[in-house]
Structure 1
Amino acid sequence: MKKYRGYLLDLDGTMYAGTRVIEGAKEFIEYLSNHNLPYLFVTNNASKRPDEVAEKLTQMGFVATADNVVTSAMATASYIAAESPGATVYVVGGTGIRQALMDEGLVIKDSEHVDYVVIGLDVDINYEKLSTACLAVRNGAKFISTNPDTSIPTERGFLPGNGALTSVITVSTGVQPKFIGKPMETIMNKAVDIIKLPKEEIVMIGDLYMTDIMSGINAGIDTLHVQTGVSTYEQVMAEQVPPTYSVKNLMEVIKLYEQ
């Protein structure tokens, strides 16, 4: 297996499952840290700020700071700021997406007359929020969704994800959003900009083919599938474009690197 200079890593199903640390994950991050190999956790979760994501990882025993985290909220804010600096935005979402937008100098407005409507996972979603978003889109606002995940894994089971909430606005208005998070190239380009390495020197690591592995494929980055989450080895190898590598867990990678 090729040794890379930079690593992009999924979280749920790759680093942890709920509150359980996945075998080999913590050791792999320690290996990267000890060998001064840069790594970024790339998450579709737009509801949390990078420091909140890092805090959870640290509490679970991982070596992580806010600088190690790239969220779909960060990628969304960067995308809008590059396209329309200082734009007005109506937001459906949590603190993560709101903070990211403000950090990029964008103006959040509780109005039906804005430049953009942005939706991220909002656990306090209600009819009024969706109504305002729909009216703003009908009034001509550009429609952005942080990620297309239709469900998210929790201790209770799979709950509605941001893609499911987004679909309400799409069905009502007939307008398809631009998605930013995995498997889209936009979030990967944000990660590449931060890690500052050529794409051929980077690998994307994750468990789910349709988001993690496809995000790497769409961005022209090598992929490493870990058999610790949703997609099985048999499933990913049957795909038209399989991952570059597939391993049982990340301990296998350490052993291969140390040979």
Structure 2
Amino acid sequence: MGKNLMEHKDYKAYVIDLDGTIYLGEGRIPEAEDFIHRLQEKKIPYLFVTNNTTRRPEVVQKRLSMKFNIETPLETVYTVSHATADYMKADGKGNRVYIVGEEGLKSELHEAGFIDDEIDPDYVVVAVDFSFNYDKLKVATFAIQKGATFIGTNPDLNLPTSEGLLPGSGTIVRSVQAATQVEPIIIGKPTAIIADIILKKLGLPKEDLIMVGDNYLTDICTGIDNGIDSLLVTTGFTKPEEVPNLPTAPTYVVSSLAEWKI
């Protein structure tokens, strides 16, 4: 188990997951909504960082407002789609891309100046794709075999929803990896790539931040692997009964964000 909740320091900013933490698919988590309201009342900076590539930040912002009673500025929403575009622009290999993914990812990459190319792309970007099929796997495989850089947006094997855990980006990334025998560059949580981007965006040292999330393998390991304190809330992916057997304990564990004092 993590530290006693009464011992926690005053963090200057919070990095917060969405799926399974603030909501569960279409289902509300009122305690999480109240947690954000308390941060806003105290004027404590926060950044929603999501490995979900299916929605643009504007859509996420509107959804938080319409469905989950959270009004938040657009700049507080940072998707792994945006992080992937930022990484590829900095990498500078080229602007041709083959995308396995949903409209949220495609529109963010197109807006960043990347153009579709199935024949000779500079990058193959793989994420959750609800119409993934053998033809897409074949195109991705051939492009990577020809030298395209293989990028996986995030390693999440499952996507938590109110109906259960759906196959996630990591499941599709692994199928492309199996077909090509090429290790992908993973952008999203828990990698150092996304951790470094978060630190730059917030402009604070890691000692002043805390990662908040429901998924030990992504949210919490972002903290553990990169020297940032972490708060696991067992409302989504990682269940309470798993906590005693986790390889490295989160800094803190709660069953509800109502337990966390701000």
Fold conserved between structures, TM > 0.5: yes
| C-alpha contact 1:91 1:98 (8 A) present in aligned 2 | yes
Q: Secondary structure at the match of 1:181?
A: coil
The reply on whether 1:81 has 2:84 as its aligned counterpart is: no
Alpha-carbon separation, structure 2, partners of 1:20 and 1:98: 26
Which residue of the partner structure matches residue 121 of structure 1? Answer: 128
Q: Secondary structure at the match of 2:260?
A: helix
The Cα RMSD (Å) is 1.8
TM norm structure 2: 0.90
Runs of 5+ consecutive residues of structure 2 not aligned to the other structure? 1-7
Residues 1:160 and 1:144: Cα distance change in structure 2 (over 3 Å): same
Which residue of the partner structure matches residue 144 of structure 2? Answer: 137
Q: Which amino acid aligns with 1:177?
A: P
Cα offset for 1:15?
A: 0.8
Which residue of the partner structure matches residue 101 of structure 1? Answer: 109
Which residue of the partner structure matches residue 235 of structure 1? Answer: 242
Alpha-carbon separation, structure 2, partners of 1:109 and 1:243: 41
Deviations for 1:95-122, whole angstroms, at most 9, x for unmatched residues? 22223223433x2223221111101211
| C-alpha contact 1:42 1:71 (8 A) present in aligned 2 | yes
The reply on whether 1:252 has 2:259 as its aligned counterpart is: yes
Instruction: Identify the match of residue 18 of structure 1 among 25, 30, 35.
Output: 25
| C-alpha contact 1:28 1:250 (8 A) present in aligned 2 | yes
Q: Secondary structure at the match of 1:91?
A: strand
The reply on whether 1:61 has 2:65 as its aligned counterpart is: no
Q: Which runs of 4+ in 1 moved over 6 A?
A: none
Cα offset for 1:33?
A: 1.0
Q: Which amino acid aligns with 2:75?
A: D
| C-alpha contact 2:96 2:116 (8 A) present in aligned 1 | yes
| C-alpha contact 1:93 1:119 (8 A) present in aligned 2 | yes
| C-alpha contact 1:227 1:247 (8 A) present in aligned 2 | yes
Cα offset for 1:78?
A: 1.0
Instruction: Identify the match of residue 207 of structure 2 among 200, 222, 231.
Output: 200
| C-alpha contact 1:226 1:246 (8 A) present in aligned 2 | yes
User: Alignment length, in residue pairs?
Assistant: 254
Which residue of the partner structure matches residue 210 of structure 1? Answer: 217
Cα offset for 1:129?
A: 2.0
Q: Which amino acid aligns with 2:22?
A: M
- Identity, % of aligned positions: 42
Alpha-carbon separation, structure 1, partners of 2:43 and 2:183: 42
The reply on whether 1:149 has 2:156 as its aligned counterpart is: yes
Which residue of the partner structure matches residue 71 of structure 1? Answer: 79
Which residue of the partner structure matches residue 5 of structure 1? Answer: 12
Q: Which amino acid aligns with 2:145?
A: R
Cα offset for 1:157?
A: 2.5
Deviations for 1:154-189, whole angstroms, at most 9, x for unmatched residues? 333222211111222112111121111112122222
Runs of 5+ consecutive residues of structure 1 not aligned to the other structure? none
Which residue of the partner structure matches residue 35 of structure 1? Answer: 42
Q: Secondary structure at the match of 2:109?
A: helix
Q: Secondary structure at the match of 1:24?
A: helix
Q: Which amino acid aligns with 2:186?
A: F
